[in-house]
Structure 1
């Protein structure tokens, strides 16, 4: 989860979101989204064409709109100021993000997907593509209208999560000069480090649907350099993909447990990836792809005890060593360094079944939920190993959504393994099931069940239960283990209140349970039982700002009795959803 910044809330409240019906029921055809299936011109074609009929595009017109509707009944002077200060997205930027051109053949499903692709951009609040179909000639004229987000986010922020504070000072622009360029410069201080960060991401003008990104950081514990060129499988009909990625990062990484810093690691990391993919089979509903690449992953560790001592927050190392049955010179807390070089091949299957919904993760915002199967498997062969036999790197990913009566279910499974290399055999599987149900316009219910099982989990990437991972109100990386489960129940209240087009307001009451167990470090947990908490909070969401996510203002009451657990914990966070 991303830690919220207070300016994300203040900007929504004070600066025109300058940081700014049915939970499991689709938006009615044509309502808010401009679904082309609702067009009367297409409806007149139903006698001779089905909903997947193919049309040739005669023309595409693009109309880019500002942030606020100044003619709305609740328009205020602030809206006019924001529109005047904002540079509207250039039409050619929108044209480059569309998955088709004049002269191409499309189906109504392609047009729905195009709207979803535009809404995926941070600088776009909503997209509406209207289609004028000519049934006799099987031709269509498309009219695309986009509505901008406020994209300039000055940052003077404070946030709190898991009992830890974070401060950010800087500026971010997600649509520089209306060109869709994302740039960030800021100073950040949190529980891990402090320093200056710069990042930029832009479309690459000579290769359509591609992006280049650059990130630089100069922190008190090290430096980061990152560059990527990425031309993804942008839409269902994309025929190839390219990826080149390089990142160098050295830093001090603190591992927490029981509310304190358990140990500190000096990390020197290098990641390289080159990949190329091709479409091997496709139709209007699904696609199959083959991707080939090579990865280099080198990460070296050393003890960073000086950092821990300076913080004054650390475990009694001798007590830990004694509990683990180790001697004083043991490197039990230092992960084994990893150095992998492996070519790999992957297969991807994507089924397109996009439903335009609302009140799933956000509030009164069109959300594009794909209920079709998404499947990916990747196998690589290790080249840099002295182990006997063939070393392998395997990844597996599965996504699926479905309606259960009037409820929505979303499921995911992820599996990763590294076998027969110079490190201990590693395997991990994660699964999650989410349930959404809207009982009335004002009331909704949400449930989540998540689980993780692992063998020889990397010590620098611990499996934990904390405020950000399963049970709200507990300290950062509070409970450790090789295995984990967590569950949440929420009652969600939708007020329908919109504050001058700036943000939507909601409330939630929640209860969480979870436990991390097993493995060498679980014996150090001050509370090894199932953890639980309950609480309530407000939710603020703006569909007029480029900050993704929903601001949570929560008060959580942990039910555990550990010494480092407070009787209640407040937090301000920017989370993925409601």
Structure 2
């Protein structure tokens, strides 16, 4: 009897407590009291595929069964708010962006699910949707007469921890080799991240180690970074896509800095980084070296960097991707780094370095977006007066929910660039109908007009389908070189069209481009029409 009464009391008490809290809609969130607190945080972690959707079959069930869903502590480590703290809706939105930026999470939604007036608190729901992260890695691309591939295995969410492990064998236009890497984006929830990578390539060994605590949130008061790299690789000079010279380049690199938030006024954030860089580059001849080697250089320096970030993030669609949320900042972003080369750090000569960048996205109206980015780099030392001014403008006109017209202009103007850092123009730099490394110079301009069509088609719920038609024009010019050709030395034109296949449930988010292209050329070696297959991150 007493046990029955006890059970009845427990049920009644539970119902009374639940009655205190009421569900609220996203529109009602803005009407909550200013002093409301976070009473509880609940999690809803979704697997890779929704098995209730039409068209699912044994492959999707097997994928969900064999996939380890991102563990709750892994999601919890990325939260920028705590239970018992005052509710800040901007922190919820910022956490959403941080989670969506993780490769292993396809999407995230954080909302206030209930309001409890008696305790003046809210219940917050954190919902995530996983990407498939264990990937037998088979990448293949063919463009401009070059075939690249990569075979291996990678797990971008090792045992649901968010850590990444990768082992593969790869071949590209420059080299073949093995790669082993491990990365942790958030070590034990401290917001430190680390990367360790080792590669044994046909042109030499390389390793890379990074330990960083970034400005992981808008209000972060400080940051730190340590970056160590040694890389030996073969560098080729090309003429009309054909290799005509080969030599070895060895880079030894170490950089470390500490950063501070100077001030924050509303959504304007000012930061200062103080650091130093050890940058030593050497060159060696090979059996295929035909021309003189570039001079060795040591550009080690100490530097100061100022950063400005104006936070105005929006959830947009069909800008650079399709069928997924894109977190794009419409506010100004700027940085200015001034460095002084130091002989006691190993620099060849005293001098100055300048690196400044400015970026902005404008929403001209409901359907038109203009994305702009400008960067200026300069190096002044004895006998060297080097400059590189880079600009990109991208205009996106969303004709409707299924199509866009896009115009892109990339312009780079350089002077006295190092021989091994010349600006090539070809299939991988926007001129899609021409081979890789087709033109070479200190300056280049590429302009593209593209029509994009986004469908709701899906191949087995694995690949989302889109289409594109495009016209490209460009030229590279101005490099001092020991070799030249009067074939296609002017403005180059090409047209094409093709299919875009987005790996919509993969942690790599790869978009396969299958294009049929036609170059307008006086080079008899180029085919009139050619197929081109590449894997990219953008449309």
User: What is the TM-score of this pair, normalised by structure 1?
Assistant: 0.84
More strand by percentage = 2
Structure 1 distance, partners of 2:358, 2:36, is 33
Match in the other structure for 1:107? 88
SS in 1 for 2:91: helix
> In the alignment, is residue 64 of structure 1 matched against residue 23 of structure 2?
no
Number of residue pairs the alignment of both structures matches: 511
Q: Distance in 2 between matches of 1:131 and 1:284?
A: 23
Q: Could you report, residue by residue, the CA deviation over 1:269-322 in whole angstroms, capped at 9, with x for unpaired residues? A: 100011110111114422111111110000101233x246xxxxxxxx6xxxxx
| Displacement of 1:64 | 1.5
- Return the TM-score normalized by structure 2: 0.90
Distance 1:116 1:162 in 2: 37
- Partner residue of 1:461 out of 409, 421, 437: 421
Indicate whether 1:424 and 2:384 are aligned.
Answer: yes
Q: Is the 8 A contact 1:41 1:134 kept in 2?
A: no
- 2:357 is the counterpart of 1:366: no
String of CA shifts for 1:24-46, please: whole Å, max 9, x gaps: xxxxxxxxxxxx9961431434x
The 8 Å contact of residues 235 and 246 in structure 2, kept in 1 or not, is answered as yes
State the match for 2:437 in structure 1: 477
| Equivalent-residue separation in structure 2 for 1:177 and 1:243 (angstroms) | 27
* Equivalent position of 2:19 in the other structure: none
Conserved? CA contact 1:55–1:107, under 8 Å: no
Q: Could you say if the C-alpha distance between residues 55 and 451 of structure 1 is closer, same or farther in structure 2, counting changes exceeding 3 Å?
A: farther
Task: Note the alpha carbon deviations across 1:167-203, whole angstroms, 9 max, x for none.
Answer: 2221111111111111110111222111211111014
Query: Which ranges in structure 1 are unaligned for 5 or more consecutive residues?
Result: 1-35, 309-316, 318-329
Q: Which runs of 4+ in 1 moved over 6 A?
A: 135-138
Which residues of 2 match residues 27-426 of structure 1 at below 5 A?
A: 39-45=26-32, 56-132=37-113, 134=115, 139-203=121-185, 205-206=187-188, 208-304=190-286, 306-307=287-288, 331=292, 334-384=293-343, 385=347, 387=349, 391-405=351-365, 406-420=367-381, 424-426=384-386
- 1:214 is displaced (CA, Å) by 0.5
Offset, 1:410: 0.7
How big is each residue's C-alpha offset from its partner over 1:416-473, in whole Å with a ceiling of 9 and x where there is no partner? 111125x622211110011111212332211101100011112112112101112112
How far off its partner does 1:206 sit?
4.9
Is the CA contact (8 Å cut-off) linking 1:61 and 1:143 kept in structure 2?
Answer: yes
Larger Rg: 2
Q: CA deviation at 1:219?
A: 1.4
Listed one character per residue, the Cα deviations across residues 311-342 of structure 1 (whole Å, up to 9, x for unaligned) are xxxxxx6xxxxxxxxxxxx62xx222111221
How far does residue 549 in structure 1 lie from its aligned partner after superposition? 3.7
Q: 2:173 is paired with a residue of what secondary structure? A: coil
How far off is 1:105 after superposition? 4.1
- What's the counterpart of residue 31 of structure 1? none
Per the alignment, in what secondary structure is the counterpart of residue 233 of structure 1? coil
1:570 aligns to 2:531 (yes or no): yes
User: Using the alignment, how far apart are the partners of 2:488 and 2:535 within structure 1?
Assistant: 28
TM-aligned CA deviation for residue 54 of structure 1:
7.3
Q: Distance in 2 between the 1:99 and 1:449 partners? A: 38
Moved more, 294-303 or 205-214: 205-214
Aligned residue number for residue 498 of structure 1:
458
Quick check: 2:37–2:84 contact (8 Å CA) kept in 1?
yes
Q: Give the Cα–Cα distance (whole angstroms) in 2 for the partners of residues 253 and 386 of structure 1.
A: 22
Contact 2:77 2:188 in 1 (8 A): no
Segments of 5+ residues of structure 2 without an aligned counterpart are 1-22
Q: Deviations over 1:50-109 (max 9, x none)?
A: xxx675433322222110111122322211100001111111111112223234445323
Which position in structure 2 is the counterpart of 1:559? Answer: 520
Contact 1:54–1:107 (CA under 8 A) maintained in structure 2: no
Structure ranking higher on relative contact order (CA contacts 8 Å, 6+ apart): 1
Give the SS at the match of 1:273: strand
Q: Which residue of 2 aligns with 1:314?
A: none
Provide the rounded CA distance (Å) in 1 between the counterparts of 2:55 and 2:144. Answer: 38
**Matched residues in 1 for 2:444 and 2:524: separation?**
22
Provide the rounded CA distance (Å) in 1 between the counterparts of 2:534 and 2:325.
22
Q: Distance in 2 between matches of 1:138 and 1:307?
A: 75
Does structure 2 conserve the Cα–Cα contact (< 8 Å) formed by 1:378 and 1:396?
Answer: yes
1:386–1:155: structure 2 CA closer, same or farther, 3 Å change rule? closer
In 2, the alpha carbon distance for the partners of 1:457 and 1:482 equals: 6
Instruction: Determine helix, strand or coil for the equivalent of 2:199.
Output: strand
Superposed CA RMSD in Å reads: 2.2
CA contact (8 A) 2:254 2:278 kept: yes
Q: Which segment drifts farther, 475-484 or 56-65? A: 56-65
The superposition leaves residues 148-178 of structure 1 with CA deviations (integer Å, 9 ceiling, x where unpaired) of 0001111344321232111222111111111
The corresponding residue for 1:29 is none
Q: What secondary structure does 1:561 align onto?
A: coil
* Residue matched to 1:26: none
SS of residue paired to 2:177: strand
